[in-house]
Amino acid sequence: MSQENVEIVRDYFAATNEGDFAAAMAYYAHDVELVVPAYAFLDSGTFKGKDAVGRWFGDWFRGFQRGYQFDLEEVRDLDGVVLVAARHRGHGRTSGAEVVAPIAYLFGLRGGKIARLEMFSDRSEALEAARVSEQDATQPGC
């Protein structure tokens, strides 16, 4: 099941990168929960349900020009959650300023759907939240 969850998360990001937000939303469980830390993003907190999560991401993407992308650097199962370490990049909608920054996520899946999505400023922070050390995270099968 773990490899299946990794592929679901990869497919979710592929849909997002293609700008197919309806397809991306289809990966969410109806009661999905998004956790956004206060120090890393403008609109922080916990957002519950597909509508609330969809609004949050819609607001995020509306701040940027078309073509905003997530370059996945690592996607792996961490014994129950899927870790994603990525770089997000794009240009501000009004300023045109380039944005390139690391980001990390922990995805919890249930029944083939994303049930929980938690954002982090980087891979190390996500690993700490998953209680996996950097050394353990480099081991095969982790």
Kindly report the CATH number assigned to the domain that includes residue 112. Answer: 3.10.450.50
Whole-number average pLDDT of the chain: 89
Whole domain around residue 63: which residue ranges?
Answer: 2-137
What pLDDT, on a 0 to 100 scale, did the predictor assign at position 142? 39
Assigned token pair, 114: 């994303």
Cβ-based burial of 116 (10 A; exposed 0-12, middle 13-18, buried ≥19): middle
Position 135 pLDDT exceeds 60:
no
Query: How many structural domains does the chain have?
Result: 1
- 59, 106 Cβ separation under 8 angstroms: no
Mean pLDDT over 13-42 rounds to 91
Assess if residue 121 is contained within a domain. yes
Model-level pTM? 0.87
End-to-end CA distance of the chain: 14
- 109, 125 Cβ separation under 8 angstroms: no
- 121, 114 Cβ separation under 8 angstroms: no
Position 9 pLDDT exceeds 80:
yes
Assess if residue 10 is contained within a domain. yes
Assess if residue 142 is contained within a domain. no
Position 8 pLDDT exceeds 60:
yes
